[in-house]
Chains A and B, each alone.
Chain A
Amino acid sequence: MGWFTKTKESIVPSNLWTKCQKCEEAIYSKDLAKAAWVCPKCSYHFRIPVRDRIELLLDEKSWQELNAHIKTADPLKFEALTSYDERVKKAVLKTNANEAIATGLGAIEGFPVAVGIFNFDFMGGSMGSAVGEKIVRLTDEALRLRRPLLIVSCSGGARMDEGVLSLMQMVKTSQAIARLSRERLPFLSLLTDPTTGGVTASFAMLGDVILAEPGALIGFAGPRVIEQTIKETLPEGFQRAEFLLETGVIDMVVPRKDLRATLAKLLRFFSAPTHTPKFEAPSNGADPSAPF
């Protein structure tokens, strides 16, 4: 796991002009920011930082961050060409965040939600122990306050530097969704470019509704790994959001400008009082320990 798509050059808002990473058109940066970082010419959706995502999706001033202090403890004392510790320090400096996900409470058009937003700039949005723990604690809050959960994924998968502990976060986070599911609290999973590996193969694919941004790369294995395995070049558009919609893996592809309204529509649906007030388990008085 951890098939990171190489980060394209990050967006520097101070630059007057920004070149579109897809059609290479030079766009006036202020216009691009106004268009929520979607290329006006080819609709390419730029990767955006957490604060822009908050602004884009949540009601003004509704965001209240939780557990921002939780960070990795380098359980394996992992060392490759550089040490994990050094890599984390660099990521912290680069993003001014402690980990690859920001979690908190907020509201979307008045509907209160618990929200997790992945930060790709922090080690490719990879999931280690701290990310797993933050997702579980966010779920605790969603359960406590009886709020729907929204997670905006953007991740290369499980973080290799924490070895099998990262792998186990797949179970830990999927079980968080299992708890919500049992309490009939909705989980909306929004997949952005890219979402692959252990994140896709756990909570991200367990949404009651799975949404994706146009053009987002979404998959289990990364394209490079697949190409190496099958020894062929993948067709254009393979593993892109539109392709996943066609193959029945996700529910909808939503352009960035429509995301907030779409999420609000979904939240309205899930928040309405239930039509059938009480479900009752059928009982014929049979011994519950009987095999059938």
Chain B
Amino acid sequence: MKELPFEHHLLELEKKIDELKSLSAAHFLDLSQEIDTLTQKLEKSKLETYSNLTPWQTTQLARHPRRPLCLDYIDMCFEDFVELRGGRQFPDDNSIVAGLALFRKEPVVVVGHQKGRDTKENIFRNFGMPHPEGYRKALRVMKLANKFRRPIITFVDTPGAYPGMEAEERGQAEAIARNIMEMTFLKVPIVVVVIGEGGSGGAVALGVGDSVLMLEHAIYSVISPEGCASILWRDPSKAEEAARALKLTARDLLELKVIDEFIEEPLGGAHRDPRTTAERVSSALARNLDRLKGLSAEELFQRRLEKYRRMGVYSEDLQ
């Protein structure tokens, strides 16, 4: 089990409690008082740690190797998932998954970035960093939803669009731009959930929606803290400062009016209780889809324009 530096003391406590439990079972000892004390201490300590995470700690949680990924949510929140593959012009891009599914008995289309859990999976998924053909696959499947009038749910979890030579040759920028514009035109409701890393333009390419939700410990940013640190501080080790300055947490984004709501994670983060996290995601999805249900295509289009037009802070003082 991989641990984060700030989780260390919690895992130590958990280990101690487990030891006491097995000791008491093996030797028929009544250690319940000790166990209770430690459990209380653990809960208190958890609460302290996770309600006061720094933006950099949140970034680490958002990238936690055991954090639930797009396919985990598809598995836990949907039924009858049928994956559709290929952008039709290049080999399939495995950093994006897309398909048809039932959400609470209703047919929907699901699209999301897919990272891997270990090195082998991550190589297969290209660390969740799509090439243009991944975005074009996503658009093809979203247009299918449009054609057959099914709502769209997207899961955002990417360090960013892949910055490689082939990606540039095949028009990475165009693929992202095209998705942003075409998602604006889609005549069906779109609900976006940022589940892990919302990495820059590569995230936005799946991130235009009528409702944009975000998990409590997910991040969403114009650039990674490391990238920002190496440019603006000229020192990648200043990532912690950059993470703070960038205002990339779910609470920040709600305040900046970039997202519509954040979904609380179980204490200690989504990876400690994926099931409960998925239930919360599912009920947030249901609530938002329901809210969008009666809207006409034209209403959806106009609301999308209004929603994004309001984003940004500028001054008009004449001085």
Interface residues of A (CB under 8 A from B): 1-4, 69-73, 75-76, 78-81, 128-130, 132-133, 136, 158-172, 174-175, 177-179, 181, 197-198, 200-206, 219-221, 225-226, 229-230, 234, 238-239, 247-249, 291-292
Contact = CB atoms under 8 A, between A and B. Distances in A.
Contacts of A73: 313-315
A169 B316 contact: no
Contacts of B312: 75, 128-130, 132-133, 162, 165, 168-169, 172
B177 A201 contact: yes
Interface of B: 147-149, 161-165, 167-174, 176-178, 180-181, 184-185, 200-201, 204-205, 207-208, 220-223, 228, 231-234, 241-242, 245-248, 252-253, 256, 258, 304-305, 308-309, 311-318
B181 A167 contact: no
A178 B180 CA distance: 9
Contacts of B164: 221, 226, 229-230
Question: 6 shortest A-B CB distances, which residue pairs?
Answer: A129-B312, A221-B163, A75-B313, A80-B232, A200-B173, A220-B173
B258 A168 contact: yes
Contact of A136 (B178, B231, B309): B309
A106 B53 CA distance: 52
A167 B200 contact: yes
B163 A170 contact: no
Given A76-B245, A81-B232, A160 B201 contact: no
Contacts of A160: 222-223, 228, 231-232, 246
A1 B167 CA distance: 16
15 contacts: A2-B222, A2-B223, A75-B312, A80-B241, A81-B234, A132-B312, A171-B184, A175-B180, A197-B201, A201-B172, A206-B178, A219-B173, A220-B163, A221-B164, A226-B165
Contacts of B232: 80-81, 160-161
A81 B173 contact: no
Contacts of A219: 168, 172-173
Contacts of A164: 220-222, 246-248, 252-253, 256, 258
A196 to B, nearest CB: 8
The interface centre, meaning the residue of B220, B232, B246 with most chain A CB atoms within 10 A of its CB, is B232
Contact of A76 (B233, B234, B247): B247
B184 A175 contact: yes
Given A167-B204, A238-B165, 9 more contacts: A70-B315, A80-B242, A133-B312, A163-B222, A165-B313, A197-B201, A220-B167, A249-B171, A292-B147
Given A171-B208, A175-B308, A249 B174 contact: yes
A248 B305 CA distance: 30
B233 A220 contact: no
Contacts of A136: 309
Nearest to A210: B174
B200 to A, nearest CB: 5
